[in-house]
Chains A and B, each alone.
Chain A
Amino acid sequence: MKKVIAQSEIDVNEEGYLLDFQQWNKKIAEELAKEHNISLTDKHWEVIDYIQDKYKNEEPLSVRGIKNSGVLDIKEFYGLFPGGPLKVSTLIAGIPKPKSCI
């Protein structure tokens, strides 16, 4: 489905995740973050860069990966993206939600 955000039109799934990473930009991320009552700080951007990097290299994303990344510890990760940090951070970063096989 289509969604208009930050003066651009993006394609998203039922849960609001971007379907095409090419459509993502920083303005969109800021608006998506606002919808989750998050105002993006430098630390948020560091995390977003890290998970986008993982996604581009097709490496699985996990809470452990975050822990070992040296970017931040897990409590901080929860603090930055309350209510399911991987779920929320991937949505803002414009990449798919972590999934299982079914």
Chain B
Amino acid sequence: MKNLLILGAGTSGTMMANHLISKLPKKEWQITIVDQYKTHYYQPGFLFLPFDIYTTGQVKKNGEKFIPKGVNYIQEKIDLIVPEKNKVKLETGQELNYDLLIVATGTKIAPDEIEGMKGPKWHKNIFDFYTFEGAKALRNKLREWEGGRLVIHICEMPIKCPVAPLEFAFLADSYFRNKGMRDKVDITFVTPLAGAFTKPKATEALHYLLEEKGIKEVTDFNIERVDYENDKIIDYADTEVAYDLLVTVPTNMGDALIARSGMGDDLNYVPTNKATLQSRDYENIFAIGDATNLPASKAGSVAHFEAEILTDNILLYIDGKPLKEEFDGHANCFIETGNGKALLIDFNYTHEPVEGTFPFPGVGPLNLLKESRMNHMGKMAFRWIYWNMLIKGIHIPFVSATMSEKGKHFEEIT
């Protein structure tokens, strides 16, 4: 009996367990999945929780429900990966041997990386919304907040779901408008990049959103520290931005397990072949989702497309055949713009998001890079798709793992 071991039962790990259980011969392979947490969160919901659009119950479920029968599920903390010995050690002292390892340990916020961030004001007037606890604490704060300077801030790239902070700004505008207090709130978006939008087509098509909603931009801001006593963030060029309420996206880092095991880069991400998803250092270790160092977005849709290709590659690897170099960085994301509207973007490693229709060329029904109610309904429907199709590894009809260029308005292919 051979062992395939999956580390992490989040979006990627759960999808892989579901894909592989029906593909690997049960007499030859035992699949085991390990995760320390009992709860599986619907992470896209963390964006909506602070605004009372979703309830806490809508964004979490018991993770074990989504692990297919026949897969050995272990709810324990992982201590170490020993790739030279094809072994994983759990905190309990138990050791698991593997023939094939899939690393799906994701990414986490690391507020300790910035001086003054996780200090006495953490979750008092400095919040994250990338964790369940942060999003819930922020919801409670927003319910009673009387207004002032709201600063939405990104510490450094890469981050999970790179557009979420911008969506947060748009939803905040709607939220305060609906509460009849928009005039009491000053919204500023602070980014280490050169703009809230960084790609030419998106900037051209979407910059009006910031103007329309009265959201100010502070760009090229690389945070050095939070002066929590004086409610200011300060960057390396000594630029200061004052806030009454700071909603920050802290530095994102891969799991500390990856650093402990000596398998990560500067940010604890696993160096991974961007087309095959095989780890660069060990041929029997593959990585997927947020845990990799791929130059793709850290997003559930990316993990979903990766999972289809990784499943094929695992089967090819087991048969001793060459791997498919097929993953193209495909991402497909709904972007909430407030007032019941949303955008949809579809892009990959080499193609920036452009206008067009999706998924049927020339038909839609969804419009790319344009605000519409239909796109918003798509985003809302996605929660159902996530729990009922996506993490169960069910193929989403008409949406292929690699990006389609049909029905899109490309001017040039770079």
Q: Please judge, given known A-B contacts A58-B274, A64-B267, A78-B236, whether A101 and B220 are in contact too, CB under 8 Å.
A: no
Contact B198 A59 (CB under 8 A): no
Q: Which residues does chain B contribute within 8 Å of A74, judged by CB atoms?
A: 222, 224, 236
Q: Is B147 in the interface zone, CB < 8 Å from A?
A: no
Query: Which one, B163, B295, B347, B414, contacts A60 given CB within 8 A?
Result: B295
Q: Please judge, given known A-B contacts A63-B192, A65-B266, whether A98 and B157 are in contact too, CB under 8 Å.
A: yes
Q: Is A68 in the interface zone, CB < 8 Å from B?
A: yes
| Bound Cα distance from A100 to B333, whole angstroms | 13
Query: Which one, B200, B297, B333, B335, contacts A14 given CB within 8 A?
Result: B200
Q: Is A99 in the interface zone, CB < 8 Å from B?
A: yes
Q: List 16 interface pairs A-B (beta carbons < 8 Å), by A numbering.
A: A59-B293, A62-B156, A62-B266, A64-B266, A83-B237, A84-B194, A97-B194, A98-B157, A99-B193, A100-B163, A100-B199, A101-B162, A101-B199, A101-B353, A102-B197, A102-B345
| Bound Cα distance from A86 to B156, whole angstroms | 12
Q: Please judge, given known A-B contacts A97-B194, A100-B193, whether A68 and B163 are in contact too, CB under 8 Å.
A: no
Q: Which residues does chain A contribute within 8 Å of B224, judged by CB atoms?
A: 74
Q: Which residues does chain A contribute within 8 Å of B352, judged by CB atoms?
A: 102
Interface residues of B in 155-172 (CB under 8 A from A): 156-158, 162-163
Contact A102 B266 (CB under 8 A): no
Interface residues of A in 65-102 (CB under 8 A from B): 65, 68, 74-75, 77-78, 83-87, 97-102
Q: Which residues does chain B contribute within 8 Å of A64, judged by CB atoms?
A: 113, 156, 251, 266-267
Which residues of B are in contact with A by a Cβ distance under 8 Å?
113, 156-158, 162-163, 191-194, 197-200, 202, 206, 220, 222, 224, 236-237, 251, 265-267, 274, 293, 295, 297, 331, 333, 335, 345, 347, 352-353, 414
Q: Which residues does chain A contribute within 8 Å of B200, judged by CB atoms?
A: 13-14
Query: Which one, B198, B202, B237, contacts A78 given CB within 8 A?
Result: B237
Interface residues of A in 35-69 (CB under 8 A from B): 58-60, 62-65, 68
Which residues of A are in contact with B by a Cβ distance under 8 Å?
13-14, 19, 58-60, 62-65, 68, 74-75, 77-78, 83-87, 97-102
Among residues of A, the one whose C-beta sits closest to the C-beta of B297 is A101
Q: Which residues does chain B contribute within 8 Å of A87, judged by CB atoms?
A: 194, 220
Q: Which residues does chain B contribute within 8 Å of A60, judged by CB atoms?
A: 157-158, 293, 295
- Having A64-B156, A100-B197, one finds 12 other A-B pairs with CB under 8 Å, namely A58-B274, A62-B267, A63-B156, A64-B113, A74-B224, A78-B237, A98-B157, A98-B198, A99-B199, A100-B157, A101-B331, A102-B162
| Bound Cα distance from A75 to B235, whole angstroms | 10
Q: Please judge, given known A-B contacts A62-B157, A64-B251, A65-B266, whether A99 and B237 are in contact too, CB under 8 Å.
A: no
Q: Which residues does chain B contribute within 8 Å of A19, judged by CB atoms?
A: 414
Instruction: Report the minimum CB–CB distance from B12 to chain A (whole Å).
Output: 18
Q: Which residues does chain A contribute within 8 Å of B194, judged by CB atoms?
A: 84, 87, 97
| Bound Cα distance from A59 to B295, whole angstroms | 7
Q: Please judge, given known A-B contacts A59-B265, A63-B156, whether A102 and B293 are in contact too, CB under 8 Å.
A: no
| Bound Cα distance from A87 to B191, whole angstroms | 13
Q: Please judge, given known A-B contacts A64-B251, A74-B224, whether A102 and B202 are in contact too, CB under 8 Å.
A: yes
Q: Which residues does chain A contribute within 8 Å of B113, judged by CB atoms?
A: 64
| Bound Cα distance from A75 to B224, whole angstroms | 10
| Bound Cα distance from A14 to B194, whole angstroms | 14
Instruction: Report the minimum CB–CB distance from A69 to chain B (whole Å).
Output: 8
Q: Which residues does chain B contribute within 8 Å of A58, judged by CB atoms?
A: 274, 295
Q: Which residues does chain B contribute within 8 Å of A68, judged by CB atoms?
A: 266
Instruction: Report the minimum CB–CB distance from B347 to chain A (whole Å).
Output: 7
Contact A63 B236 (CB under 8 A): yes
Q: Which residues does chain B contribute within 8 Å of A98, judged by CB atoms?
A: 157, 193, 198
The 7 A-B pairs at the shortest CB distance, nearest first, are namely A102-B202, A84-B220, A99-B198, A100-B162, A100-B198, A63-B222, A101-B162
Q: Which residues does chain B contribute within 8 Å of A14, judged by CB atoms?
A: 200
| Bound Cα distance from A87 to B113, whole angstroms | 23
Q: Which residues does chain A contribute within 8 Å of B293, judged by CB atoms?
A: 59-60
Instruction: Report the minimum CB–CB distance from B26 to chain A (whole Å).
Output: 38
| Bound Cα distance from A38 to B35, whole angstroms | 51
| Bound Cα distance from A68 to B206, whole angstroms | 35
| Bound Cα distance from A64 to B236, whole angstroms | 12
| Bound Cα distance from A85 to B162, whole angstroms | 21
Contact B206 A102 (CB under 8 A): yes
Instruction: Report the minimum CB–CB distance from B309 to chain A (whole Å).
Output: 18
Among residues of A, the one whose C-beta sits closest to the C-beta of B280 is A57
| Bound Cα distance from A102 to B335, whole angstroms | 10
Contact B236 A75 (CB under 8 A): yes
